Every structure is written in C-alpha cells, then in structure tokens.
Structure 1
Amino acid sequence: MDPLIRVLVVDDDPLVRSGLGLIFSGADDIDVVGEAEDGADVLTMVDRVRPDLVLMDIRMPRLDGLAATEALRRQPDAPQVLILTTFTTDGYILSALRAGAAGYLLKHTPPAQIVAAVRNTMAGEPVLSPDAVKQLIGAVTRTTDPGPDDERATAESRLRLLGEREREVAIAVARGSTNADIATECYMSLPTVKAHVSHILTKLDLNNRVQIALLVYRAGWV
C-alpha cells in the first residue's frame, strides 16, 4: 500500500476544520494528523505532528496564512503547503506562490477535487483552482512593461543558468505539462524528467513547480 499522506489543517473556523476532517475521512490514503486555528501555531504543530502537507487558510487573527507559509517553507524538510481560502485576488495568489505554496484552491471547490488536489500536490504537480488560474494569467499579462529593475531581464538571466534540456523542461512545466507529458514530448525517461525538475529547483533556489512557471512567464518564454 502507498504510505498515508499526513495532513495538518490550519483554519480559524472550526466548522471548516470539521468539514475537511469529514471529507478526508473517506480517503483511505489521507490522514488528518492535526488541526491549528491560527498561523502562529503552525511551526509548533508541524514539529509535533510531522505532516506531509499543510492545508492553509489565509485570513487568520494573529498570523495570516501567507506569513505562516513563508516561515514554514524556510524550515529544513518543510511539508508542502496547499492554500485553501475564499480570496481570489491576484495579490494573494502571487504572494502565496512566492512564499512557497504548492497550490491555491478556493473553499467552494468540490470535496472530491480537494482530495485529488492533496494527492496531486504530493505527486509534485501544481494545483490551482480555475479562478486562481484566471487571476494569475491576468497578473502576469499586466507585468509586461518592465519596472525599474526590469523584471523580465532578471528572470531571463536566472533561467540562463539552466542547461538546454533544463530550460526545455522549465518551459514545459510553465505550459502545465505533467512529468509524464514532458517525458513523452521531450523523449526523456520519467526519472530523467524528475531529475531535471529537481535540478531546476536547486539551481534557481525555488520551492515548487509553480514558481518555475512564474519565472518562465516573467521572462516571456511562453
């Protein structure tokens, strides 16, 4: 059997925490190992229950989910973070992804899709709700004019650190291709694709595939 995915639920609404517990109780491969009601409790709870994934709300009384995500992802061997919230502004989405979140879902997402999102996140696939994708595309297209530091040139300079095949994989990631898709499209084995993705993350000091995609978009390569 595949190992259980250990999930920590972080939300200030006890009804939401209870509802998510019920949703995951029907999934044989997911175990809710803990709950927290505020971002300020996340690091302590992660040390205590050692989750594989943290399902994180954004708006919380003491420490919001964005700050909690950033603090958590700075830790060694940090769990993945999947944002689950009601907010769809591109500022929140971009901030969450830049902080190291592996995905961004809305709370009206159907239960089966939330379960699937947890599995996909742990499989290394980016997870974004359709509304979040629309906001993200809009945010990217609005940043075509270079700012004082010329973001596009900076992004291109970083991507030039990659080898030719790594750049090819990075562009495929930005187009939304899975590892299996990339293996087929680029005539590579699946382990080779996974190795390239890992090297890209290391070379560019990124946390996840979504951040790869953002950098490629910012460089104007797709």
Structure 2
Amino acid sequence: MKASPVRTRLQVFLVEDATAVRRKIAEALSAIPDVSVIGEAEDAASALTGIAQSGADVAVVDLRLASGSGLELLSLLADEQPSVVTVVLTNHSAAPFRTACQRAGAHFFFDKTSEFEAACEAIEALVNRRAVPAR
C-alpha cells in the first residue's frame, strides 16, 4: 500500500492589534511556500474563537492586544487547544516576558523588530516537518 503524504500546507492564524503590522506579517508569512494565513484577530476572545473555528495549526500572537492579552491567550490555547503551535511575535521581548510566555505554554518567542526573520524561518521549519510522508 502506497503511503499518503500528510497535509503539508500550514494553516496560520495571526493575532495582532495593529492592522498595518498584521498586514505586513500576513504578507511575509504568505510568501513562505505552503503557508496559508487563514484568519486574523486583534483581541484575545476573537482569536480564541477564530483559531478553534479555522482549525489553525499555528497561532502567531502579539502580547499587546486590543482587549485581553497575548499572555492570557497563550494560557487558554495551551489548555483548550494544545495541538496549536504558538509563536509569540512581540516588541515586549525582555527576559521576564519570555519567561512568562514560556510558562504560559508558548512554543516559540521572537522579538518583532530584531528576530522577525528567525520567526519566519521557524514557521518554514514547521512546514518542512509536515512534508514528511505518512507511513
């Protein structure tokens, strides 16, 4: 019997309060082969609902949101949707923020200004891991 490949297209949901920044992130992520930005939100409550309804594989989360916080969202996702990979992309990158995000269940943490390319590379690596054929 022939092995069928797993779904390789990575479904990404963006959570960012600034519309212009969200557009730029979506554009950059959509340029990565096999990445689809399937939803966006600017607050924690809409994000939690949108991530669940969309079947997102990855949530890219800023810490500062229009209402609620990215940290709160990370905790809720870890509890309610543990299969979603969480990538924090924020300007609040001091060590205490990194530690708090790690404790809340974040899988990755990047400074929006200085580590944006590294964040894109991490998402590309997630795509590449999915491209391995199922056995």
Report if TM-score (shorter chain) is over 0.5: yes
Change (3 A) 1:84 1:25: same
Cα distance in 2, alignment partners of residues 89 and 110 from structure 1? 13
| 2:121 counterpart of 1:116 | yes
CA deviations on 1:131-189 (whole Å, 9 max, x unpaired) are: xxxxxxxxxxxxxxxxxxxxxxxxxxxxxxxxxxxxxxxxxxxxxxxxxxxxxxxxxxx
Q: Sequence identity, in percent?
A: 24
The residue aligned with 1:18 is 23
Segments of 5+ residues of structure 1 without an aligned counterpart are 125-222
Query: Partners of 1:83 and 1:120 in 2: how far apart?
Result: 16
Divergent runs of 4+, >6 A: none
25, 31, 40: which one pairs with 2:45?
A: 40
Q: TM-score, normalised by structure 1?
A: 0.51
- Aligned residue among 59, 67, 85 for 1:54: 59
Instruction: Point out the structure with max Rg over C-alpha.
Output: 1
Q: How far 1:19 sits from its partner (Å)?
A: 0.2
Higher relative contact order (CA 8 A, sep 6+): 2
Cα 1:78–1:19 shift into 2, 3 Å: same
Paired letter, 2:38? V
> Whole-Å Cα distance in 2 between the matches of residues 62 and 108 of structure 1?
22
Q: Distance between the aligned counterparts of 1:51 and 1:99, measured in 2?
A: 19
Q: Which has the higher strand share?
A: 2
2:13 to 2, 8, 11: 8
Q: CA deviation at 1:87?
A: 1.0
How many residues of Structure 1 are paired with residues of Structure 2 in the alignment? 124
Q: Say what the alpha-carbon RMSD is for the aligned residues.
A: 2.1
Task: Normalising by structure 2, report the TM-score.
Answer: 0.82
CA separation in 2, counterparts of 1:62 and 1:77? 22
Residues 38 and 74 (structure 1), Cα distance of their counterparts in 2 relative to 1, 3 Å cut: same
